[in-house]
Amino acid sequence: MHIAFATTEFVTEKGYDGGLANYLDKAGRIFAEQGHQVTIVVFSDNNQTIEYGKNIRVVRVLQGTAEIEYILKYIKNEQLRKMIKCCWGSYKINRKIKDIHRESKIDIVQYCHLGALGLFRTKRIPSVVRMSSFGPTMQLISAADYEPGRGRLALSMSDKLDIAAMRRADGVFAPSRLTAGIVKRATGITADVLETPAMSVDWDKVKEIPAQLAQKEYLLFFGTMSNIKGIKTIISAVHRILRQNPQLCFVFIGKDCGVAMQEGVRSPAVKKLREAAGEYGDRIIYLQTIRDRDLLNAIIYHAAICVLPYRLENLPNTCIEAMQLGRLVISTYKSGVSQLICDGYNGFLIEQNDPGALADKINEVLQLPCEEKARISENAQRRIKRMSPENFYRYMMKYYRDIIGRKGK
């Protein structure tokens, strides 16, 4: 089978930062290892085709051109500018897909939901859209910190284009029940639920603690540092956490997108964490973004607890990776994580936006007997085994074949 993925980001491109690129890297490698031909069609700063691995190639599509930039120069309305960019991007991506299809028949195209990439899809090729989030909801939750009183879901023109692209697809799916439910309520579109794959771990490379954290016991947050990811809750709790646990450091890894506290002004998250920690600020360790997967796995593996108090998530790679490595994870109810974690069985859940509950739960988990920690760790790993590459391949191929079969009728 020839499978094409159309995406706004991939791991080969400059400045990528997010779960979408990592998911596509995993999925592409799983299909390629089973002998399928995989083509990644991605926006880039040039038009180029590269061989990424056996049976995998990356086709780069130049996103902007002199023609479209000339048109946009005369359009002042920002919403209209975004809409034109989306349409132009979808047109270019799908023109490239048609060219590829003429050279080597594509059996199915999987579009990311971002950028309305499937808007100009060719109906000759079966297609699906994968929801890595639902933009309007994410924006609503984020905006609540910057625009007090905003509490109504409002669809922009770009959102409406995304939804129109979803309606044009032969199928829509999401990794989490939460996202699928939000999509159904907001748009009426039924999304299937197909979980993200968990890749195998090189255990020989994770056992040795990295030099920068040697002799340290630490809590760990990793991923994008933003309000949606719960950084604001950690900021409000960090002084108490460090005061009550003098043996601990708090390590942060990821892109700092800033946070807004009471003043409503966005500030660097690391700065706010150190200010909130006060006299314990030297125990805040920021390692920025780590691309080396083995190094990141080693840091996760040696953490006392992974602290991930999300406000909203799909099915987070961070939580999957931590559980796969047997780490104890503290996250939140109603954020999507409860699809992975059953409180007290294979991890821990607290209410969202509750700094006191977070500090209390950290203290509670640290004091658990070793036997109890080992039981929860084993249960976490057992849950993630259900998301193995083998299982992912089996249910995705069934889904693709169902879509192709429906299309052929």
Q: Give the pLDDT confidence of 163-182 residue by residue, as tens digits.
A: 999 999 999 999 999 999 98
64-78, 136-150, 333-347 — which is least confidently predicted?
A: 136-150
Q: What is the pLDDT of residue 78?
A: 73
Amino acid at 101: H
Q: What is the pLDDT of residue 152?
A: 59
pLDDT band at 149 (very low <50, low <70, confident <90, very high): very low
Which whole number is the average pLDDT over 111-137? Answer: 90
pLDDT band at 108 (very low <50, low <70, confident <90, very high): very high
Which whole number is the average pLDDT over 184-202? Answer: 91
Per DSSP bridges, beta strands 259-260 and 266-267 are antiparallel
Q: What is the pLDDT of residue 88?
A: 87
Which CATH number is associated with domain 203-385? 3.40.50.2000
Q: What is the pLDDT of residue 65?
A: 67
Mean pLDDT of the chain: 90
SS3 at position 217? strand
Q: Cα angle vertex 81, ends 225, 159, to 5°?
A: 60
SS3 at position 68? helix
Which whole number is the average pLDDT over 90-111? Answer: 96
Which whole number is the average pLDDT over 217-242? Answer: 95
Class of domain 2-197+388-408: alpha beta
Residue 187 has, within 13 A of its CA and on its CB side, a CA count of 24
As a dihedral over the C-alpha atoms of residue 139, residue 145, residue 148, residue 152, rounded to 10 degrees, the angle is 20
Rounded CA gap, 181 and 335, in Å?
Answer: 12
> Could you tell me the end-to-end alpha-carbon distance of the chain, in angstroms, rounded to an integer?
19
Question: What secondary structure, in 3-state letters, does 234-286 show?
Answer: HHHHHHHHHHHCCCEEEEEECCECCEECCCCCEECHHHHHHHHHHHHHHHEEE
Cα 404 to the center of its chain, rounded Å = 27
407 Cβ partners below 8 Å, 6+ apart?
126, 170
339 or 202, which is more confident: 339
pLDDT tens, 44-56? 988 999 999 899 9
C-alpha dist (Å) from residue 386 to 108, 172, 382: 25, 22, 7
Whether 122 shows a pLDDT value over 70: the answer reads: yes
119 or 261, which is more confident: 119
pLDDT tens, 343-373? 999 999 999 999 999 999 999 999 999 999 9
Gyration radius of the chain over CA positions: 22
Q: What is the pLDDT of residue 409?
A: 57
Q: Where are the alpha helices (DSSP H) in 73-176?
A: 78-103, 135-146, 157-168
Whether 142 shows a pLDDT value over 70: the answer reads: no
Q: What is the pLDDT of residue 87?
A: 86
Asked if 193 contacts 175 with a C-beta cutoff of 8 angstroms, the reply is: yes
384: buried, middle or exposed (CB in 10 Å: 19+, 13-18, 0-12)? Answer: buried
pLDDT tens, 391-402? 999 999 999 999
Question: In the chain, where are the structural domains located?
Answer: 2-197+388-408, 203-385
- Positive or negative torsion for Cα 4, 103, 119, 117: positive
Rounded CA gap, 20 and 367, in Å?
Answer: 36
Rounded CA gap, 301 and 328, in Å?
Answer: 10
pLDDT band at 408 (very low <50, low <70, confident <90, very high): low
Give the rounded percent of residues in the chain with a pLDDT score beyond 90. 67
Whether 148 shows a pLDDT value over 60: the answer reads: no
Tokens (6 digits) for 275: 């200010």
Whether 42 shows a pLDDT value over 80: the answer reads: yes
291 Cβ partners below 8 Å, 6+ apart?
none
Asked if 102 contacts 94 with a C-beta cutoff of 8 angstroms, the reply is: no
Q: What is the pLDDT of residue 199?
A: 87
97-101, 132-136, 299-303, 313-317 — which is least confidently predicted?
A: 132-136
Whether 67 shows a pLDDT value over 90: the answer reads: no
335 or 270, which is more confident: 270
| Beta bridge pairs of residue 141 | none
| Beta bridge pairs of residue 343 | 347
